[in-house]
Structure 1
Amino acid sequence: MATQKKQRVCVIGCGPAGLCSLKHLSLQSDKFEIVALERNLWPGGLWNYTDMTGKDEYGIPVHSAMYKRLKINLPKELQEFPGFPYPSDWVSYITRDQCLEYLNDFMDFFDLRKYIKTNTLVREVRPITATDKTQWSVTYSDIRKLGETTEEVFDAVLICNGHDSSPNMPDIADMEKFEGKIIHSRDYRHIESFAGQKVAVLGMHYSGEDIAIQIMEKAKRVYACHRRQTMSPSFPESIIQKPTIVRMTERNAVFADGTEAEIDALICCTGFKYKFPFLQEGLIDIENERVTPLYKHMVHIDYPSLVFVGIPKQWNHFPHIHEQSRVAVAVLDGTAPLPSKEEMRKESDDEYLRLLEEGKPLRYAHFFGDGDRQWRFNKELAAWAGIEPLPPVMEKLNDFVMLERFNNLLGFNQMCYKITGPDSFEIIEK
């Protein structure tokens, strides 16, 4: 009997999504030949901290949004890869350094480094369609030799480049007139940069809250500008809450209620845009932050051997991308069967229409931070691919943590947890 030819699979990006995908592909090394491309010197994605912002020494945009004093905003019990726990003696809310150490331990434990080409900038991914199947041309360069390119052909491509590197800058009237400093949160690094200044922080989701609370230690005054209906009852009174900014003058921010304030700096914590600059033009469409045509936020409907891992936002990232990467491999090896293109497109469109009928904003196509959406989606994926869903304790602990964060914004990340069973956890002392 002839030996079945291995599928050549290219993994683009070696942050958490790429590393999980490598792990699950490598567990079936008899079926897959794997090459992973990472543009940084080290794997780990945005968890690789750098003081640099803008562009690096090679002229490549710095994509890490890590800042010096960042801690993860969920306990490690909700941000680990199933079956690979963090060290038990670490507190629940770990630092960015500890998270990167964990990712390095994961790489070494599963011997993943041998698949990874670092310092590699992907230039183009384009389909090569024959009569019976689609293959993929992937062109890339060593970032130290950008004048040289290499092309390889693969049977499948997993897109794992993340979605927290292309800033979504707000459209504020007369923004260009402002004479102070304007940055996106991606380029925030140190609280000392705002010492003695009057600072407006626009956007009060997780990063906005955290940055505003941090810089109030050094800043002269901090304005928290947002559209939220309710803020944590423990939000610091020393931070002045204002509605969103509608206009800028040379020195002032003008707010939606007509008031204004003199400021020295504006930090825009306004999220990120999906961006896949290496995909051939026309391969995907992005409108109102909805990436199409994708089935279950993962599989390209017209080219099912192009699979995205990590598209959803605002969910328990590590465990869910672990599950998604398992599904991606199941799609490639055929154990997760795909419906017809017409059925996949209809399911995708129907899901989006339901969101809009529920009153969700247009940009919420891939937003999983509402209610139990992330857990329902996990069960869908598990049933489709024939794998175990995440245990119910994940949802139970997540609900507890979210409520604790709301009620105790300044102290929630001092708490420690221990998962005691598939449906139970306890608060512990550290």
Structure 2
Amino acid sequence: MRAPAATTHQSTRSTTHGPWCNQTRHLHQRGEKNKRIQTVRTLPPTVQSSHPPPMPMPSASLRLAVIGAGAAGLAAARELRREGHAPVVFERAAAVGGTWLYAPPAASSDPLGAAATHSSLYASLRTNLPRETMGFLDFPFAAEAPGSADPRRFPGHEEVLRYLEAFARLFDLLRLVRFETEVLRVRREDRGGWAVTSRKLGDKGSGEEEVYDAVVVCNGHYTEPRIAVIPGVDAWPGKQMHSHNYRVPEPFLDQVVIIIGASASAVDISRDIASTAKEVHIADRSAPVRTCEKQPGNNNLWLHSMIDRAEEDGSVVFQDGSTIKADVIMHCTGYLYDFPFLGDDSTITVDDNRIDPLYKHVFPPEVAPQLSFIGLPWKVIPFPLFELQSKWVARVLSGRIMLPSKEEMMEDVKAFYSKLEARGWPKRYTHNFSNYQFEYDDWLAEQCSHIPIEEWRKQMYNFNGINKAVRPESYRDEWDDDHLVAEANEYFKKYL
């Protein structure tokens, strides 16, 4: 696979669409002397366009700290360097990959906590998105690509890691990464810049402090477990754990296991554990109260409403009144955003999983663009979104794109919150993009003068959601969108 040049789409016309773009400033080049002028555009949300303006050349090279070398951190490092910046990537693990770097939980790990284990992968995990949709926009995640060893359309996690490793090698990113190095503190300097204190794993000292022009946070959000509140569970004698620390089903042989949650990981893990457990009971908060149903095709798998309480005798009572004696309660209840290295001077707070305030889920208005976040949205196709966010951040930092004023960014954040409240969405869904990820992607693409997300990719993602609902047990191996697969493979030829 060859390294592609950065893709842009140039035109003399520019419009903006969607709720993401109330006010945006660009630096344009005009006239023979390429004098820079600043324009402000306020545009209606219904205007559609795929004709972004040409981009001027970057005006400055900055020394930047990137926290994390998972998919988001690698995307950020590549785009920052493409803009002429000098990124330094801090990574706790000994290799790239982030959450895709499989590791057994440490023997001393808290089964309900993150402890020292970063990855949340379990051994049997396969992607829940087709590989054609998953790849970076100019680096296809194709079965035909060099280094591929799992040609399945929904491959195992090892294949995703191989893909990220190949991406890092091709774009010469490994030399930018300080492996086995954790970031302890990030703070604003009075004289400008950000002081980053880091330490090699195993060192006992207070760490080394360096000053950077800006910090890009890419530490992921699948590490700090969210735990369900269960009345009486403190006196319940069984074992509790979070799916973050689940790896293989064998330890649950002949046990009765309750799984809390109905996410993709909860569905997969329940089927995985059912292969060895005596019984598996899924407690789904969204299920009707009187739900108590055996699941089709599984002799030992039941769906219930949420747990009502746990008892000292080992029994667990569901909201429908049914009771079982359980050995294990596993919380497949998601994760919390966590930035332990940031202090109050980052100007953000995390409240019920809302990171507040963030302009377009990336920039805290008070300190933008010197602090930014890549990869916070969920219910998305992650890698393309990481790439587009990274392009935007890189070009803002180099002066090719100007952000609105602090006041305008805050107004945009407030308007977004008002829309969520009008829809009845809880605060914890602030960064849930299930309804508008492509609108957001296309807005980012226009800011960066990049072609929009391909239509086949959007259609394939939507089709996969329908197929998963129709074939929950077999969607990874049965599908009816071969015409989209053919279109994707034709598109990939220019990169392979």
Residue 109 of structure 1: which of 170, 176, 189 is its match?
170
Partner of 1:360: 425
Where do residues 19-98 of structure 1 align in structure 2 (5 Å cutoff)? 19-28=74-83, 31-53=84-106, 61-89=116-144, 90-98=151-159
- 1:331 aligned partner, one-letter code: V
SS at match of 1:402: helix
Structure 1 residue 408 corresponds to structure 2 residue 471: yes
Contact 2:121-2:244 within 8 A present in 1 as well: yes
Query: What is the rounded CA distance, in whole Å, between the counterparts of 1:38 and 1:141 in structure 2?
Result: 11
In 1, Cα distance between equivalents of 2:177 and 2:404: 33
Aligned to 1:428: none
Aligned CA RMSD, in angstroms, stands at 2.4
1:259 matched residue in structure 2: 322
Correspondence for 1:164: 222
Aligned positions, number:
414
Q: Does 1:275 align with 2:338?
A: yes
Query: Which amino acid in structure 2 is aligned with residue 245 of structure 1?
Result: I
Q: Spell out the pairing of 1:7-406 with structure 2 (5 A cutoff).
A: 7-28=62-83, 31-53=84-106, 61-89=116-144, 90-130=151-191, 134-229=192-287, 236-238=297-299, 239-250=301-312, 251-281=314-344, 283=346, 284-304=348-368, 305-369=370-434, 371=435, 373-406=436-469
One-letter identity of the residue aligned with 2:74: L
Structure 2 letter corresponding to 1:337: M
Larger Rg: 1 or 2?
Answer: 2
Give 1:60 deviation, angstroms. 6.1
**TM-score, L = length of structure 2:** 0.79
Q: Which moved more, 1:88-97 or 1:339-348?
A: 88-97
**Gaps spanning 5+ residues in structure 2: where?**
1-57, 145-150, 492-496
SS in 2 for 1:299: coil
Structure 1: how far apart are the matches of 2:64 and 2:167?
20
* Letter of the structure 1 residue corresponding to residue 120 of structure 2: A
CA distance in 1, matches of 2:452, 2:60: 31
Show CA shifts across 1:184-210 (max 9, x none): 010011111111011111001100000
Partners of 1:101 and 1:127 lie apart in 2 by 37
1:84 to 1:5, Cα distance in 2 relative to 1, 3 A: closer
CA contact (8 A) 2:187 2:345 kept: no
**What is the distance in 1 between the residues matched to 2:115 and 2:351?**
26
Q: Distance in 2 between matches of 1:6 and 1:341?
A: 23
How far apart in 2 are the matches of 1:344 and 1:392? 30
**Counterpart amino acid of 1:106?**
F
Contact 1:92/1:415, CA 8 A, preserved across alignment = no
Change (3 A) 1:208 1:330: same
1:114 offset after TM fit, Å?
0.5
Q: Kindly provide the CA deviation profile for residues 326-380 of structure 1, in whole angstroms up to 9, marking residues without a partner as x.
A: 11112211222211111101111111111111111221110112x3x10111122
Scaled by the length of structure 1, the TM-score of the pair is 0.91
- Cα pair 1:200 1:222 within 8 Å, conserved: yes
Q: Return 5+ residue gaps in structure 1 as ranges.
A: 426-430
The superposition leaves residues 255-281 of structure 1 with CA deviations (integer Å, 9 ceiling, x where unpaired) of: 122322111111110000000000113
Structure 2 CA distance for aligned equivalents of residues 277 and 375 of structure 1: 31
Give the letter aligned to residue 457 of structure 2: M
Q: Whole-Å Cα distance in 2 between the matches of residues 243 and 155 of structure 1?
A: 51
Map Cα deviations across residues 117-174 of structure 1 (whole Å, 9 max, x no partner): 00001000011143xxx31000010012132411110001100000000000011111
Distance 2:178 2:240 in 1: 35
- What is the rounded CA distance, in whole Å, between the counterparts of 1:91 and 1:77 in structure 2? 11
Change (3 A) 1:54 1:138: farther
Q: 2 CA distance for matches of 1:11 and 1:96?
A: 24
Mean alpha-carbon deviation: is it higher for 290-299 or for 234-243? 234-243
More divergent stretch after superposition (221-230 vs 144-153): 221-230
Report how far residue 318 of structure 1 moved. 1.2
How has the CA–CA distance of structure 1 residues 21 and 291 changed in structure 2, closer, same or farther, with 3 Å as cutoff? Answer: same
Shift of 1:88: 2.8
Letter aligned with residue 262 of structure 1: K
CA distance in structure 2 between the partners assigned to 1:22 and 1:353 by the alignment: 34
Q: Given that residues 295 and 303 in structure 2 are in contact (C-alpha distance below 8 angstroms), is that contact kept between their aligned partners in structure 1?
A: no
Residue 267 of structure 2 aligns to a residue whose secondary structure is: helix
User: Is the 1:203–1:226 Cα contact (8 Å) retained in structure 2?
Assistant: yes
Residue 383 of structure 1 deviates from its aligned partner by 2.3
**AA of the residue aligned to 1:294:** L
Distance 2:107 2:384 in 1: 31
**Residue 424 of structure 1, CA deviation:** 9.8
SS in 2 for 1:270: coil
Superposition deviation, residue 237 in structure 1: 4.7
Distance 2:287 2:308 in 1: 18
* 2: CA distance, partners of 1:273 / 1:346: 26
Relative to 1, partners in 2 of residues 1:73 and 1:17: Cα closer, same or farther, differing over 3 Å?
same
